[in-house]
Amino acid sequence: MSKTTDIVHHVDSETVEPRTHAIVIGLGYYPYGGNIEGVSLDNLGSPPRTARAIADWLITEFQDPDCPLASLSLVVSDELAFEYTHPLTHEVFTVPQGSTGDIVDAIDAWAARAGSNVKNRTVFYYCGHGLRVGTLDFILSRSFGEKPNQFWDGVLKRSSIDSPMRIIGPGHQIFFYDTCRNEGTGVLGGDPEARTVLSTRQQLGNVPRQSRLFATAEGALAHGRTNGLSLFAEEFIGTAKSTAVRKNPKTGWWTNTGELQRHMERFVKDQRCQLEGDQLDLSFIGSTPTKIPVVLSCDPTETICSVNIHCHSTEKPVVSFRGDMLSDDAELEWRLSLSRGMHRFAVTACVAGEFPSVDESIWIESPYTEIVLDMKGEAVK
């Protein structure tokens, strides 16, 4: 038997100590997206999966000893009612489906919990349809198109979420907007009348620090896998620890949103992650990161299709590539995940004598390592 609520994680505590309050919204199913003339709003496969994965990550891997996770709100629009199973307690929840009312109510309650202490911290994650008109970003709720003559009811202004939070008061706020930001004037018109999410409240006396991380640049698309996560979430979950370049005996491995933005910009294909506001810290459970992202290419770039590359660590084979097995439209750089430390790269031509052999040892270090194999006989890092 499942419980119907947006709160999928809650720690009962009477303490007045600061806590982290999170909300995750994943909107993939837009049942009324075709109701408005001239507008076709496709359903998305990745947001429900992304929302589940981010929620799991927050519960199992997010770790801030100074401000532990106290609550997690989850709102998901999928074709069927979305059930979430808590990864630790295995309790099952049926969460709200992402109508405008569902989103406004969940964000309002989240803001109230977060605003109860000026030292609290917040994490906000949205994945779903988004558009940009002029200098304004908008997100689209499941309600978009339900009332064709009042379709603004399904359009939420992004700044009506994060701007009021500066006044509501939690001192440390991180927002992730995993959504497209392409031009939406043709859909929304030139003077959008979007729904306000939060209203300004009395400020609690502090000046909060806020970090807003966007999956893609202004005017650009964000991408996801049909049966997987968004590319942004996939990279965040898969390699966030690899960007944790510092270790604190108390907090464990940690990074900040600035390091994360630089990492995402480098590794999320066809998207240019942007950061606005402060660079704020994120802490993770665990020991030293076990895998570090590595980008490997050749100079000249096309020679990567004509060489064999063997990578060894402590004389044990780690990975090998045969350039002559690549397709004609192959990437001209390869991505690896290697352990921290010294690795030996041995390069030979697919056709004997076409290129000189390269045999170099290179140190692999976080947050990530880029290697360019110089086919004049050297490997440069």
74: Cβ–Cβ under 8 A, 6 or more apart, which residues?
6, 8, 23, 24, 25, 51, 55, 84, 93, 95
Residue 287 has pLDDT above 70, yes or no: no
- What domains does the chain contain, in order, with CATH numbers? 3-284 (3.40.50.1460), 292-380 (2.60.40.10)
pLDDT, one tens digit per residue, over 191-236 is 667 778 887 655 555 678 899 999 999 999 999 988 899 999 988 8
Of 323, 307, 300, the residue nearest 359 (C-alpha)? 307
Residue 354 has pLDDT above 60, yes or no: yes
pLDDT at 232: 93
Please, are residues 326 and 296 in contact by the beta-carbon 8 Å criterion? Answer: no
Please, are residues 231 and 223 in contact by the beta-carbon 8 Å criterion? Answer: yes
Q: What is the Cα–Cα distance from 62 to 16, expressed in whole angstroms? A: 21
Q: What is the CA radius of gyration of the chain?
A: 23
Top-confidence residue, 292 or 274: 274
> 24 pairs with which residues across the strands?
74, 125
- Model-level pTM? 0.81
